[in-house]
Amino acid sequence: MKQIKPIYSDILIVGAGPAGLMAALQAAQVACSGCSIRIIEKNPRAGRKLLAAGAGRCNISHTGSIEEYLQHYGPLNGSRKKLLKAVLYSFSPADLGEFFAHRDLPLKELNEGKLFPRSERSLDVVELLERSAEQAGIHIHYSDPVAELYLGNSEGETAPRTFRLRTASGTIYEAGKLLLASGGASYPQTGSTGDGYELSKELGHRIVPPRPALAPIELEAYPFGELSGISLPVELRYPGASKKAGRTTGDLLFTHRGLSGPVILNSSRYLAQGTSIEIAFTDKTPEELLHFLSEAKAAGGSGLLKSRLRALELPARFIRLLLQHTGIPEELKLADLGKQASRKLTALLTAWPLRVSRVGGWDKAMLTSGGVALPEVHPHSLESRLVPGLFFAGELLDIDGDEGGYNLQFAFSSGAVAGRSAAEQI
């Protein structure tokens, strides 16, 4: 290994996803002219996960104040809150909006505060970042995964500490500043296979065990397979969790094998195999629902129960399954609705109990929770507290946001902060 002359850069970045690309671009703005910035990317092109974002439409960011933003990254313990605040104030959603607007790809709000590029094409975002990197003189080395990382000294052993990387092709890179932006472990087909955890560990960092997040769930004795494709608003509860974490409202999507949709994806960080959950399919309390049913019975006479239940804004296929599940005949007349049947319906509609058998898999989870432990990272610079000159950005860090643009915003913001901080040290 010693015979191969390392290729030197001032800043070396691992990973050409949104975090790594933004880090390089912001570093290029701050760094001295003539400074070299290099990205090593395992894939033949940049931003493969970014291409898949928002089903190819790229939900880049979200409207709202930073204080509102902070509510979308799970439980806010001390170091997570500090880091998120520092990063999001330093390169804010407004800064990101301006970044794209200046490059002729302004963001627009599509639904419920979600921000997309005007063209609604992830490809345009990736091409814009690649083009900007090329114009800024950033070298991107593709199709060559980093295989090994170690600390070295450039000329003899007396020079300041440097980082050395060996890639699969055997090339050795050396740099004064190293920025790890190699993503998490979800959607491994996009290149994010958790390599950054090993690289960080080699440099002494603690990794909070990675778990699939923003993931669908599978359930024991799953009853809803035949409703696949139907989506409806619900409240999801997970008993035993803290009050705030234990209740989420949003759209639920039934799939063949389990549950998905925003309400599940955003809660998946709190769920695990064996977790008991309850789903409320109505916003009525049990008392209100019992009252609704007894009123319907009194007024309805020969009308059908299933028709009356439609007033709860439930899809017909769901009502059919509900009646089957409770053993109530589908053609039951309201006049024949007994107390026991009313109670059964009420119990399921207000708190349908289920038990999680599986969260994710990595191939379905859109995100990783866990990663580089935040107490070991300076929140304002994203520099390692253990190894000076080492920086982190993006999903590799122990931060996971809700769906809706919060994760790309964090990837871009943290990339910007880490890239600038690295460049300021040169």
Report the distance separating Cα 161 and Cα 221, nearest Å. Answer: 57
* Least distance between ligand FAD and beta carbon 167 (Å): 7
| Residue with Cβ nearer ligand FAD (135 or 143) | 143
Nearest CA among 368, 407, 418 for reference residue 69? 407
In angstroms, give the least distance from the CB of 198 to ligand FAD: 9
DSSP summary character for residue 182? -
**Inter-residue contact 86 to 417 (CB < 8 Å):** yes
The residue (of 17 and 379) whose beta carbon lies closer to ligand FAD is 17
The nearest distance, CB 110 to ligand FAD, in angstroms, is 11
Q: Minimal distance in Å, beta carbon 23 to ligand FAD?
A: 9
Smallest distance from the beta carbon of 209 to ligand FAD, in angstroms?
A: 18
Q: How far is the CB of 245 from ligand FAD (least distance, A)?
A: 21
Check if the beta carbon of residue 345 is closer than 8 Å to that of residue 322.
yes
**CB contact at 8 A, 250 and 389:** no
Q: Which is nearer to ligand FAD, 177 or 306 (CB)?
A: 177
Distance CA 304, CA 323 (A): 12
Q: Are 182 and 16 in contact (CB under 8 A)?
A: no
Separation of alpha carbons 35 and 55, rounded Å: 37
Q: For ligand FAD, which is the closer residue by CB, 279 or 411?
A: 411
Cα(74)–Cα(95) distance, rounded to whole angstroms? 23
Judged by CB, which is closer to ligand FAD: 49, or 269?
49
Give the residue with the Cβ less far from ligand FAD, 296 or 365: 365
Which residue number, 17 or 258, has a Cβ lying nearer to ligand FAD?
A: 17
CB nearer to ligand FAD: give 48 or 237.
48
Nearer to ligand FAD among residue 293 and residue 397 (C-beta): 397
Give min distance, CB of 52 to ligand FAD, in A.
Answer: 4
Widest Cα–Cα separation across the chain? 94
CB of 278 to ligand FAD, least distance (A): 28
Closest CA to 20 of 129, 176, 172, 145: 129
DSSP state of 333: B
Contacts of 337 (CB under 8 A, 6+ apart): 293, 296, 297, 305
Taking the C-alpha atoms of residue 319 and residue 306, their distance in angstroms, rounded to an integer, is: 7
- Report the alpha-carbon angle 176-177-179, nearest 5: 150
CA 413 to CA 354: how far, in whole Å?
38
Rounded Cα gap, residues 267 and 265, in angstroms: 6
**Which residues are near ligand FAD by CB under 6 A?**
14-20, 40-43, 48-50, 52-54, 58-59, 145-146, 181-183, 186-187, 191-192, 195, 366-367, 394-395, 405-408, 411
What does the alpha-carbon distance between residue 75 and residue 16 come to, in Å, rounded to a whole number?
Answer: 29
**Least distance from C-beta 391 to ligand FAD, angstroms?**
13
Alpha carbon distances (Å) from 335 to 246, 312, 314, 318, 357: 38, 19, 21, 22, 40
Tell the smallest beta-carbon distance from residue 8 to ligand FAD (Å): 18
Q: Which is nearer to ligand FAD, 342 or 407 (CB)?
A: 407
- Choice between 39 and 341, CB closer to ligand FAD: 39
3-state secondary structure of 402: coil
Residue 35 CB, nearest approach to ligand FAD (Å):
21
CA 184/CA 193 separation, integer angstroms:
7
Nearest to 294, CA basis, from 334, 328, 321, 259: 334
